[in-house]
Amino acid sequence: MLGIHPELLGELARDQRVVLVSATNGKTTTTHFLAAALRAADEPVVSNVTGANLASGLAAALDRAEGPGFAVLEVDERVLPRVVDALRPELLVLGNLSRDQLDRYGEVGSVTASWRAVAERRDAPSVVANSSDPAVVWAAEPAAPTWVALGARWRQDASTCPRCGELLSWTDVTFACANCGFGAPATVNRLEPGALVLGDRRLELDLALPGTWNEANAALAIAAAAKLGVDPVAAARAVTNIDTVSGRYAIHQLGDGRPARVLLAKNPAGWSEVLRFLSDRDSGVVIALNAHIADGRDPSWLWDVPFELLRGRSVAASGERALDVAVRLDYAGVPILVVPDALAAATRVEGSEVHIVASYTQFTALSRRLR
Amino acid sequence: MSESAVRVGLVFPELLGTYGDRGNAITLVERLRRRGRPAELVEVAAGAALPDALDIYLLGGGEDDPQVVAATGLRASRNQLARAREGGAVVLAVCAGFQLLGHRYEARDGASMDGLGLVDATTVAGPDRCIGEVVVEPDPELGLPLLTGFENHGGRTTLGSESRPLGDVVVGHGNGNGVDGVRAERLIGTYLHGPVLPRNPALADLLLSWVVGELGPIDDTLPNALRTSRLDAALAHGVRRWWGERRIARG
């Protein structure tokens, strides 16, 4: 799975203070935020911000280092435990775990267990982790992390206790296991609407990037930067001005003059955030879905996304699996156009703006075409 | 036939909902409403007792730990389900849910978990996972066309001599021995996700007809296009593999 000799990775990382960022959703943006915060503090930084998060991408990023400094690396959830020995990271930044590409990765439980094995080692790196995600809490707990409560918005993949297997009980904000006592660890660090409370400080998060999910990414990145010695106020300032992440979130203009933005959503947790973001906008929507290996070959998760929320909106289905999208939307009571090409579809949907919500290979192909 | 709402039960969706099997409930409810029949989706939360007054019980796929919790809940509701079945209720059970209808499931570490014993079947965890598109040729008595689905499971299920499979596997693995699933009176078990009912409108209507009798046609342009495209993809893949194996066998 590595495809690269661990000794090479270790050699490339020798002079670097390595930080590894992993999560099911948000790892590219969190990595970008953290790298920006370190650069703002005048630290030399190499990073794999294009989302190349397998061993080859890590090696390519490390190879760009021109001297000692930070290597802030986004790592695929499955690859993380396999590169820890070679890279000897100083810090792990752990966001969230939910179902994604079940055909390739297996279920959430096996990823959680592989992360926990890293945290249990006596030489485990420092960890900054999200205390609102039961799987992340179970995985990170043995390393005594710095916790940040990012809020639990997606819980469909966290119904049973990762410690004992019994049903977890949830309130609006937290979880607990009545059987074994497992629960969210206490921390003052927390994300509030538009602000991060970090220790005794409160930092406003007036982000240029859209969506509450990016506030969570920013909060985690600022907490990680603070752990690495950066002034959190300066870190917060550095992340708020970022308006694109290697092409992501950039606004393009359609032939008819309307603005269009491409968003990546590849699993139900990501989609639930996108739907919340779209809810108060007059936006047409194109759903562009492929099912290649990098997308996950099984798009059955479409049925766990409450697409009923798109009723009354102009929506088109695109991509190689447009028909899976079309049947889902039709049964959700959303009239749907099937237009195989996503950019052609964008010109066909109504609204004062258009959002193209794409699976991974659609997203990368569209980003190239729009560059 | 009374016109009271058909109650479609989604059993323990937090536990048996990892693979989009909620789509089966959405499909059944919507296909009734489009024919002007009132229908209601009833979610039975994990930890609650199974009501015995539902018309259709849907059990989906889930991860290992949630499956164990679901098994405990189902065994506790064994009587309610038996009463519902006697009253004519329909059961569709997919993957982990299908395994739980049988006598037991044996994990790789030898641990054994009791199922409901509703069908004569036993599942043993296999050495690897079966993942990919599946095509099943259903038992001709069901009067159904080829079924398409996506499987993702480690179980190998052996049916007892009294049990009849849903059909023969054309592409993929199913139970792991040439057949997929199980069928009994107003009951179907299968390894097919996808989910299975949005991809196979005729199967959805068969289940509904067991509850409400004969059903009129509705516009199935989109589901039929989806079904055909998935069948084409899976059969092309199956032919390529068969051809490759044949060439290897011939040297």
Task: Please check whether residue A167 touches B, CB under 8 A.
Answer: yes
Residue in B63, B129, B198 nearest the CB of A331: B198
Write down the pLDDT at residue A154: 76
pLDDT tens for A219-251 read 999 999 999 999 999 999 999 999 988 778 888
- The H or E element that residue B237 is part of is helix B221-250
Is the pLDDT at A262 greater than 90? The verdict is: yes
Residues of chain B with Cβ-Cβ distance to A301 below 8 Å are 19-20
Residue B206 lies in a domain: yes
A180 touches chain B (CB under 8 A): no
**pLDDT tops 80 at residue A107:** no
Beta-carbon separation of A327 and B198 below 8 A? yes
CB-based contact B14 A103, cutoff 8 Å: no
Which tens digits make up the pLDDT trace of A344-371?
999 999 999 999 999 999 999 998 888 7
Residue B208 lies in a domain: yes
Question: pLDDT at residue A104 above 70?
Answer: no
* For residue A288, pLDDT beyond 60: yes
Is B224 inside any structural domain? yes
Q: Is the pLDDT of residue A103 over 70?
A: no
pTM of the full predicted structure? 0.88
Instruction: State yes or no: is B153 an active-site residue.
Output: no
CB B75 within 8 A of CB B113: no
**Which chain A residues touch B26 with a CB distance below 8 Å?**
303, 331-332
Q: Chain A residue with minimal CA distance to B25?
A: A303
pLDDT tens string A201-225:
999 999 999 888 999 999 999 999 9
pLDDT confidence band for A328 (50 / 70 / 90):
very high
**List of chain B residues with pLDDT < 50:** 1
- pLDDT at res. A55: 86
Expressed as residue numbers, the domain containing B64 is: 6-250
Q: Is the pLDDT of residue A119 over 90?
A: yes
Domains of chain A in start order, with CATH, are 6-240 (3.40.1190.10), 251-370 (3.90.190.20)
- Rounded to 5 degrees, φ, ψ at A51 are 85, 10
At residue A106 the predicted structure's pLDDT band, cuts being 50, 70 and 90, is low
Q: Which of A323, A325, A329, A339 would you mutate first to test chain B, the one with the most B CBs within 10 A?
A: A323
- Cβ contacts of residue A46 below 8 Å, gap of 6+? A16, A61, A62, A64, A65, A69, A70, A71, A72
Structure confidence by residue, pLDDT tens digits, B81-124: 999 999 999 999 999 999 999 999 999 888 899 999 999 999 99
Q: Is residue B98 part of a domain?
A: yes
Q: Which residue has the tokens 């078990």?
A: B189
User: What's the pLDDT band for A184 if we cut at 50, 70, 90?
Assistant: very high
- Percentage above 90 pLDDT, chain A: 77
**Which chain B positions have a beta carbon within 8 Å of A302's beta carbon?**
20, 23
Min Cα distance B113 → chain A (Å) is 14
Report the gap between the CA of B106 and the closest CA in chain A (Å). Answer: 17
- Which has more confidence, B249 or A112? A112
Q: Which two tokens stand for residue A88?
A: 């000897």
**pLDDT score recorded for residue B1:** 47
Whether A90 shows a pLDDT value over 70: the answer reads yes
Contacting A residues, span 239-268, partner chain B, CB-CB under 8 Å:
none
Annotation marks residue B173 as catalytic: no
Query: How far, in Å, CA of B67 to CA of B61, rounded?
Result: 8
Domain membership of residue B100 (yes or no) is yes
Say how many domains are in chain B. Answer: 1
Give contacts of A 72-111 with B, CB under 8 A. Answer: 99, 102-103, 106-109
Supply the CATH number for residue B104's domain: 3.40.50.880
Query: Is residue A258 pLDDT above 70, yes or no?
Result: yes
B1 belongs to a structural domain = no
Nearest-Cα distance to chain B for A273, in Å, is 18
Determine contact: A317 vs chain B, CB below 8 A. Answer: no
Selected catalytic residue, list B95, B130, B153, B173: B95
Phi, psi of A185 (to 5 degrees): -70, 150
- pLDDT in the model for residue B72: 93
Asked, for residue B129, whether it belongs to a domain, the answer is yes
Interface test with A, best of B11, B63, B200 (most A CBs within 10 A): B63
Mean pLDDT for A64-86 is 94
What pLDDT does residue A239 have?
A: 96
Contacts of residue B225 in chain A, CB cutoff 8 Å? Answer: 323, 326
Q: Catalytic residue among B130, B153, B173, B193, which?
A: B193
Q: With beta carbons under 8 A apart, name residues in chain B contacting A166.
A: 69
